[in-house]
Amino acid sequence: SLTIADFDEWISGKYRKMEEGPLPLLTFTTAPYYDQKPGTSGLRKKTYFFEAKPCYLENFIQSIFFSIDLKDRQGSSLVVGGDGRYFNKSAIETIVQMAAANGIGRLVIGQNGILSTPAVSCIIRKIKAIGGIILTASHNPGGPNGDFGIKFNISNGGPAPEAITDKIFQISKTIEEYAICPDLKVDLGVLGKQQFDLENKFKPFTVEIVDSVEAYATMLRNIFDFNALKELLSGPNRLKIRIDAMHGVVGPYVKKILCEELGAPANSAVNCVPLEDFGGHHPDPNLTYAADLVETMKTGEHDFGAAFDGDGDRNMILGKHGFFVNPSDSVAVIAANIFSIPYFQQTGVRGFARSMPTSGALDRVANATKIALYETPTGWKFFGNLMDASKLSLCGEESFGTGSDHIREKDGLWAVLAWLSILATRKQSVEDILKDHWQKYGRNFFTRYDYEEVEAEGANKMMKELEALISDRSFVGKQFPVGDKVYTVEKIDNFEYSDPVDGSISRNQVGGGSLCGSVVNEPD
């Protein structure tokens, strides 16, 4: 409740702000950096680049604003949030001040600067924003000695396509100045609208602090059968789950949706408080970095387990006794059981898609169901193009990313609710569902090798040798005996993608060798 003293303080602050007059907008000169080229998921660097290098953050943010025509910027809405890693709040304070000085009319920011990447995509689409700025380095470690990242999403809610990221990069190499409103201060912890009068502005600049979870939770309620899921998680024969948020952004979402709303016991979810350094761990949901969850699941006390990355767009699924669901198989199983999700009963299924490095498990389901299948380069923006053209409903990547056309980002919690919906419908264990799937469609085996913190010279040499191997046509058809089986190389290539929507060509993503031979559990 508001006391008289609180009211007096609020009134005096309100009138003091008005008496101070409009806040000044300033322009500062700067010098360009030549290393601000965004990758498939934005600009990621060691944190000290953004924190310690003069104007490094300001240059990149200004380059984003300059990439948007002034007439489109003026009065528009922009969504801002991050995964809570170190430097998140400081960066948001700067972004708010620069957005005000660059003509943005309204900022929508998650409380305390917290928004999962799927939630940002959801809110962009809901309020018809011009785009969003996401502060995350995804599954990379956080902290002063960790990584930080900035990602720009466009008005469809998805990552900026190459034409826009290339434009941002070109601007960053020639930038000479940035605009900022340094006296503008926002309280990120207080829900509601805050308005500011600025010099040379006819309308006040609005900052709206929103509940980090609510808009996203509302969207999920319209996709899944929450009554069936509540019965699954809290009924008399409830499914025992273990969810590890890995101290990333998704913790509050798990607590609100799975525990408070769907009735899973509070101790079902662990590591749900977002921490600036993710508790000193690597927030990457795989068998290596989510080893604590794997060991817990191996005890057999829980029927279903899941982990998420720092910004909530990746997921790992485990069954009882630590049964691992390969991400390539995960999207295939969801595809095969897609009508367990009410959303698809309403919309129908337009198509499936996977990234090139992902196994062909999804292809088998597409072939059996006669649904179109697209193979794209790595990067969710390629899926977004297909979704915007109404060609795609479900997609996934081997890098633990799964999603659908409900937003334009991969979505870790959506994938978990999709799996829980399948479990509620099938009334089988995770392992039995996978084994039935392999029996029906066949099984694809898949390997991935990660080389971390290696010297560029050696890595480039290895890639050149791979490219030489690809160009040797005699390699296709080569046979490799393994035990009592013989595997034949069916295809190896330097992957090239022609976008069926806009005709753009993406080249030079080296494709994995496809081995064909005996396959375990090949159906009759």
CATH number, domain containing residue 467: 3.30.310.50
Q: With contact defined as beta carbons under 8 Å apart, do 516 and 359 qualify?
A: no
Q: Please tell me the predicted confidence (pLDDT) of residue 510.
A: 56
pLDDT tens column, 362-418: 999 999 999 999 999 988 989 999 999 999 999 999 999 999 999 999 999 999 999
Give the DSSP H/E element, type plus range, for residue 329. Answer: helix 327-336
Three-state SS at 117: helix
Average pLDDT over residues 11-24: 58
Residues involved in catalysis: 138
Local structure of 156: helix, strand or coil:
coil
- Residue 18 lies inside a defined structural domain of this protein: no
Three-class secondary structure of residue 495 per DSSP: strand
The answer to whether position 373 is within a domain reads: yes
The secondary structure element, H or E, covering residue 270 is: strand 269-270
Same domain? 336 vs 482 = no
**Is there a domain that residue 46 lies in?**
yes
Same domain, 224 and 204: no
Token pair 């680049």 is found at 49
What's the confidence (pLDDT) of residue 29? 98
Contact 500, 374 (CB under 8 A): yes
Percentage of the chain with pLDDT > 90?
82
Contact indicator for 308, 246 with CB cutoff of 8 Å: yes
Element (H, E) at 243: strand 241-244
Indicate if 401 and 500 belong to the same structural domain: no
Q: Which domain holds residue 174?
A: 23-212
The secondary structure of 181-226 as a DSSP string is -TT----TTS-EEEEE-BTT-SS-EEEEEE-TTHHHHHHHHTTS-H
Length of the chain in terms of residues written: 524
Query: For residue 474, is it within any domain?
Result: yes
- 292 with 364, same domain? yes
Number of domains in the chain: 3
CATH of residue 33's domain is 3.40.120.10
Determine the Cα–Cα distance for residues 420 and 417; give it in Å rounded to an integer: 5
Please tell me whether residue 492 adopts helix, strand or coil conformation: coil
> Once rounded to an integer, what is the mean pLDDT over residues 262-281?
97
Average pLDDT over residues 221-244: 97
What's the N-to-C CA distance of the chain in angstroms? 70
pLDDT in tens, 272-311: 999 999 999 999 999 999 999 999 999 999 999 999 999 9
Domain shared by 395 and 310, yes or no: yes
3-state DSSP helix/strand/coil % of the chain, to nearest 5: 40, 20, 40
- Claim to verify: residue 169 and residue 221 sit in the same structural domain: no
Q: Are residues 248 and 191 in the same domain?
A: no
Nearest to 30 by CA among 4, 2, 70, 57: 57
What is the three-class DSSP state of 488?
Answer: strand
Q: What is the pLDDT of residue 20?
A: 66
Let me know whether 276 and 366 are in one domain. yes
pLDDT digits (tens, 9 = 90+) for 157-179: 999 988 999 999 999 999 999 99
- The reply to whether 227 and 207 lie within a common domain is no
